[in-house]
Structure 1
């Protein structure tokens, strides 16, 4: 273990010695956190809470790390983007030069490379199929988004594409997802990006203070796997209640997902659960409001 810490210090020093301008755009914004010697646990399977309303975008849960307790789960949540027209590129772990490196998530006009990881709910390994922006309005794909009885203006149904069916949470290395950025994703990496919002950063910090979120305690089954919002997680950090919705995968333990703490959200009808496999086989004839876009990982819209 002492050798791991020594290697960690050397790697951190090497990363800090690299000018920020030379780092890939996503890393320059979100930073790189290093874990040496062991991979993150597999992704837990959980139900998605109801969307709080128009303009919210789903950001999937992920394993973060600190030296005191190791890997801990940051619950997936619905959040509002910092700018109209921006989409979320999830964080991911990648095996590089003998270490697992953490690539932080970020906001931008397109969804970039996130290691080919299947986070579910439209993040099937490449791009995002949970919705798209059009003239300042967000259109939701009901086949993957848990809308239930929530009033949202723009809804469509489109079968999703799953690039990989694995729960593996890291890219490269032994047992990792073998995916590399496409030419288009490499181009997206050079676009203007915005780091995680203050609300998202506080959400991760709160998860790091909850021992039930640590893999060393929960053995890969977090106390809270998803919440309708960061506020919902703060209101119920022990995961005492369950809430129905689509699942990010099938066949593994279904962890706790928390509803939004407001009375309005609690009175919304619970959505029927569907696995993504069921959503993928849903006939296109069920499309309700709008035709699906040809490339819904592309954002359109103006800044606020």
Structure 2
């Protein structure tokens, strides 16, 4: 497949060849198109992988002649402390859609007034602030596991709930916004180019056919990642959605998460044996295994097995436990191994309840009801310990 990236490839190539941390980055148009970018997809922000990462929202990039492709939102480390990310944006002017590349700087500049969410509400950034060389996260908008990351605060005033559309460009037909005084000042400050990780991240998206709007019709295969090469979050997000919707039973979730836990252990071992890196062969092997898990997630979510708990106190309790498990997966409070153990227990409870109902004409006697309640209490305490340490 032939792809010409025009000026943006030149910028990326120079950055990869000579990553000057203090290089000046232009905030002008680096590429243009004659068709509007698709609407922003809706996605859940993955949990922050650790201290020092800053959220960079997803955006539509462009490759001639194949069109727009989605670059997933991702947590990245800035070039050095004190820098904030100004997202890329598209602007429409004189019949042309121009791409303005993102950049690092001491303040957030103009990004078209686009509401990317998660702290980027159209003006500035409300997801966190620097306190010396420590980044503090605003948990009102940032998905941070506070049992691991302690540099947090809460400021609900930065939440932008006024934007009802997902328009992804500035100008006629899109978002009508102009730079304010602070943004103009930030635009003229010394800027730093995207990191090599960010450039690799965009390049990877450009080679994935499922990320192109022409193939996904505005619904990318991967919308967000917890870090560059972070496909495992995408898998966990899909599992969490399956648990929450009832399309994945406790048994199916247990099996999937056991496979994820084994793969995670394998990756950790490989990295430990290679100074923190994976060889190309190991990367290929991991990708193949993730493909197989991905296919299993899809098959399990679309088979005839769905979680049905019943309109009764025991059923409501079981459904509530699964929602807590789904939330634990989604926000990173429960790892794959913990989820597998929890769902193994839930599967055992479900089997006991089914057997007791069959033995009693579909109902539970008083002692069986108490037994199920005690089991769910123990399972609930286990979930709480895993989610909150």
TM-score over 0.5 for the pair? yes
Give secondary structure in 1 for the equivalent of 2:26. Answer: helix
Taking the aligned partners of 1:68 and 1:99, their CA distance within structure 2 comes to: 16
Q: Does 1:103 align with 2:162?
A: no
* 2:237/2:330 contact within 8 Å kept: no
Distance 1:262 1:130, change over 3 A: farther
Q: How does 1:188-207 map to 2 (within 5 A)?
A: 188-207=186-205
Distance 1:229 1:90, change over 3 A: same
Match of 2:230 in 1: 232
* 1:132/1:139 contact within 8 Å kept: yes
Give secondary structure in 2 for the equivalent of 1:216. Answer: helix
Task: Tell me by how many angstroms 1:83 deviates.
Answer: 1.3
CA deviations over 1:153-180 (Å, ceiling 9, x no partner): 311111124263420000002x210000
Taking the aligned partners of 1:244 and 1:106, their CA distance within structure 2 comes to: 33
Taking the aligned partners of 1:240 and 1:156, their CA distance within structure 2 comes to: 29
Match of 1:74 in 2: 71
Q: 1:46 aligns with which of 21, 43, 48?
A: 43
Taking the aligned partners of 1:140 and 1:213, their CA distance within structure 2 comes to: 29
Q: 1:136 aligns with which of 133, 136, 157?
A: 133
Give secondary structure in 2 for the equivalent of 1:58. Answer: strand
Give the TM-score, by structure 1 length: 0.69
**Paired positions, count:** 231
Match of 2:329 in 1: 270
User: Between Structure 1 and Structure 2, which shows a larger proportion of helix residues?
Assistant: 2
Q: 2:119 aligns with which of 111, 122, 127?
A: 122
Match of 1:22 in 2: none
Q: 1:223 aligns with which of 215, 221, 224?
A: 221
* 2:109/2:184 contact within 8 Å kept: yes
Match of 1:4 in 2: none
Q: How does 1:6-45 map to 2 (within 5 A)?
A: 28=26, 32-36=30-34, 38-45=35-42
* 1:149/1:269 contact within 8 Å kept: no
Q: Does 1:85 align with 2:82?
A: yes
Give the TM-score, by structure 2 length: 0.55
Task: Tell me by how many angstroms 1:68 deviates.
Answer: 2.8
Greater RCO, CA 8 A, separation 6+: 1
Taking the aligned partners of 1:262 and 1:153, their CA distance within structure 2 comes to: 25
Taking the aligned partners of 2:87 and 2:116, their CA distance within structure 1 comes to: 9
Match of 1:168 in 2: 167
Match of 1:250 in 2: none
Distance 1:185 1:151, change over 3 A: same
Question: Which sections of structure 1, spanning at least 5 residues, go unmatched?
Answer: 1-8, 13-24, 246-258, 274-304
Question: Which sections of structure 2, spanning at least 5 residues, go unmatched?
Answer: 1-5, 8-22, 241-259, 269-326, 333-389
Q: CA RMSD in A?
A: 3.0
Taking the aligned partners of 2:30 and 2:94, their CA distance within structure 1 comes to: 14
* 1:170/1:177 contact within 8 Å kept: yes
Taking the aligned partners of 2:28 and 2:193, their CA distance within structure 1 comes to: 6
CA deviations over 1:264-303 (Å, ceiling 9, x no partner): 99xx943569xxxxxxxxxxxxxxxxxxxxxxxxxxxxxx
User: Between Structure 1 and Structure 2, which shows a larger proportion of strand residues?
Assistant: 1
Distance 1:243 1:58, change over 3 A: farther
CA deviations over 1:106-132 (Å, ceiling 9, x no partner): 000001000000000000000000000
Distance 1:155 1:47, change over 3 A: same
Structure 1 segments of 4+ aligned residues over 4 angstroms from their partners: 261-265
CA deviations over 1:54-111 (Å, ceiling 9, x no partner): 0000000000000131000000000000010000000000012220000000000001
* 1:61/1:73 contact within 8 Å kept: yes
